[in-house]
């Protein structure tokens, strides 16, 4: 190119010994979700196959929720503060908070959460289900 001649892309490829980029002669790619094609079912991550939170619902194998609440035995004082969780004495309460959600639906959510430290050093999050009752642990 020292002689001032401008080369088009094809000539530059030939002169430099470079290969041409391969062409895809198959045409545009069709999506895998076309009717009747393999792979048209639910995709991972779309919520299919995840068991509902309802403890009376049948268990299915496959994906499960992380930190799914599990029932626990709790002895609490008159104000509802946990004293014993599954036989472990509560040493400290780190914090407590109230969650009220879905109040506009047929299945409102109302829970009082407690983050506690037990005598054996475990950090647990337990909550009292205020609508239907019962104690549950979230982590541990």
Q: Is residue 53 part of a domain?
A: no
- What is the CB-side half-sphere exposure of residue 112 using CA atoms within 13 A? 13
Q: Is residue 41 part of a domain?
A: no
Q: Is residue 27 part of a domain?
A: no
Q: Is residue 114 part of a domain?
A: yes
Q: Is residue 76 part of a domain?
A: yes
Q: Are 76 and 82 in contact (CB under 8 A)?
A: yes
pLDDT given at position 100:
95
Q: Is the dihedral of CA 70, 76, 81, 87 positive or negative?
A: negative
Q: Is residue 46 part of a domain?
A: no
Model pLDDT for residues 59-85, shown as the tens digit of each residue: 667 777 777 889 999 999 999 999 999
pLDDT given at position 86:
95
pLDDT given at position 120:
95
Tokens of 139: 């982590």
Q: Quote the number of domains for the chain.
A: 1
Q: Is residue 129 part of a domain?
A: yes
For residue 120, what are the domain limits? 70-139
Parallel, antiparallel or unpaired: strands 109-118 and 70-71: unpaired
For residues 78, 79, 80, 83, the Cα torsion angle rounded to the nearest 10 degrees is -70
With CA atoms as reference, report the closest residue to 96 among 66, 126, 73.
Answer: 126
Element (H, E) at 16: helix 9-16
Model pLDDT for residues 33-55, shown as the tens digit of each residue: 545 555 545 555 544 444 456 66
Tokens of 74: 């709790």
More confident residue, 19 or 117: 117
- What is the CB-side half-sphere exposure of residue 128 using CA atoms within 13 A? 16
Q: Is residue 81 part of a domain?
A: yes
First and final CA of the chain: distance in angstroms?
71
More confident residue, 35 or 58: 58
pLDDT given at position 50:
47
């Amino acid at each position: 190119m020292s002689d001032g001649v401008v080369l088009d892309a094809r000539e530059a490829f030939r002169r430099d010994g470079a290969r041409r980029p391969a062409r895809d002669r198959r045409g545009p790619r069709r999506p895998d979700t076309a009717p009747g094609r393999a792979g048209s079912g639910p995709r991972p991550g779309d919520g299919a196959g995840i068991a509902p939170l309802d403890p009376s619902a049948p268990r299915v194998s496959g994906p499960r929720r992380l930190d799914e609440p599990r029932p626990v035995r709790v002895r609490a004082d008159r104000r509802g503060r946990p004293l014993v969780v599954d036989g472990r004495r509560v040493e400290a309460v780190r914090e407590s908070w109230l969650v009220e959600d879905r109040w506009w639906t047929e299945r409102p959510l109302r829970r009082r959460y407690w983050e506690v430290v037990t005598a054996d050093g475990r950090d647990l999050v337990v909550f009292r289900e205020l609508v239907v009752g019962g104690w549950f642990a979230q982590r541990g």
